[in-house]
Structure 1
Amino acid sequence: MAFPGVWMTKSESMIYRVVPKCACSTIGQIMFYSDHGAFYDGDIHDSRAGLHKWSQDESQPAIERAVRAREALTFTCVRNPYARILSSFFDKIAGIQRNGRRYRGNLVPQLAQRYGIEVGSPENGFDFDQIASFRRFLLFARDTIRFRRPMEPDIHWSAMSGHIATFIANGGRYDRIFFTETFNEGMQDVLSASRTPVAVDLAEVPRFNESEGHGPRRAHKVSAYFDDLSRHLIWDIYKDDFQLFRYDFDDPDNKLPTGKIDLDEVHAKLGR
């Protein structure tokens, strides 16, 4: 078995399948705190101790054993596809990363050359046509996901259902899938059902948005970025995300889900 993208507390109280751009930094810090009584000092994605991660070879036997035993509460978190792809664009394409550089080195220059994307710079206050550049980025994202060109799809804009499906396909089962948009309610349900060494008061937990402050702010409401072609592309890429996780395709400005997630349906459709 292989469980890429899976994190687990050292106490084995909970197992989390990371879905990028869905509050993963905050969730990871809460998991860390629930074991140690303190938050990780830095970006939780950089931690090499205090949290089991499948990417760390020494953690893999413990994660595989816990997934098989199904004693630890297992969960993940999803987000409105419209908001998620916008966040990916503003963070990974238009923004400057924590190391002071552009994401993936020469990716942004390549997009400027091949797709005509402009993203501005800190020197000009990130002054660029956000709507036009985002729509061009969306064409690029579609090309990577549907045709795997000019590169493999990136984890930050590939479909949530794809991330979530790998865990199911390899023998895992989710006990909870909750919404970023109602984070405290969903995360509290996970904590209440888990045997954590340290109690967590969600009201006291800060939001760990590692991308905030490193790029331009979104200047328009969500629907302004999506014309008819953009919405066609979004449906082509994220149809399963809209349907399985109950998000409103017809109204991009309605960030809230329209109903509850059916876990049996998710496992049946993504476990094929």
Structure 2
Amino acid sequence: MKTKWKQFSVLPGFSLTLGFTIFYLSLFVLLPLSAVFLKTATMDWGALWAAVTDPRVLASYKLSFGAACIAALMNVVFGLLVAWVLVRYSFPGKRVIDGLVDLPFALPTAVAGIALTAIYSENGLVGHYLQSLGIKVAFTPLGIIVALTFIGLPFVVRTVQPVLEDLDTHVEEAAASLGATGWQTFRRVILPELYPALLTGFALAFARALGEYGSVVFISGNMPMYTEITPLLIMSKLEQFDYAGATALAAVMLLASFVLLLFINLIQWRTGRRYAVKG
């Protein structure tokens, strides 16, 4: 009896598609990333260590990773709320709000930065009232978090929304009929189903915020040791023709981002596997 290994497909076979996949990833992902490390390798160890551990650079690391993490966590909370409202309720203007969620995707980052700076500056529409309360947003780390939250919200909403749409509401009704409170139903019934999607949304929002430049450069004020992000330092070194120093900072950001995203993906994989076993 002959075993049928090949299956009909409208696309080319496995070997050809795999070849195209490797070629595409090598050309547009692996080669540019490897160029960063190859350029960095031209520096001697002392110069490399001095470039990546300069106090000004360390301050930019702390600000970039800290603001990106805070913004991603905020987007997890508010992105879940937005997705919940869009999925579970019907109200006038729902399609308009649903479309506005994708606005940060299409809006040029420079335009977003200028708009946020105008709104949250001391004389801005919102910043004027916040200033009277002693809260300054523009040209502070808080302004950077606001900008990163703005550009990262759609990643969480669009990741969680399909999962909520597929979630069976009868399970929630069954939990309520068994005496579970609203919080217990959310924590033990809904949240386990949403947890992998929330982790994915967090990872996407974090990665997007970590590499953001256009919207942050306007609202941050770019003050060294205070509101200067690492991408701005990389651009400054490129403008000074310090390509080795710029690629050294880029290599550090790449390695740190890879480790963090790998850790998040491992948590997501273990969580999904645990829930699959329980199911």
Shorter-chain TM-score category? under 0.3
Highest relative contact order (Cα 8 Å, sep 6+), 1 or 2?
A: 2
TM-score of the aligned structures, taking structure 2 as reference length: 0.26
Higher helix share: 2
Structure (1 or 2) with the larger CA radius of gyration: 2
TM-score of the aligned structures, taking structure 1 as reference length: 0.26
Higher strand share: 1
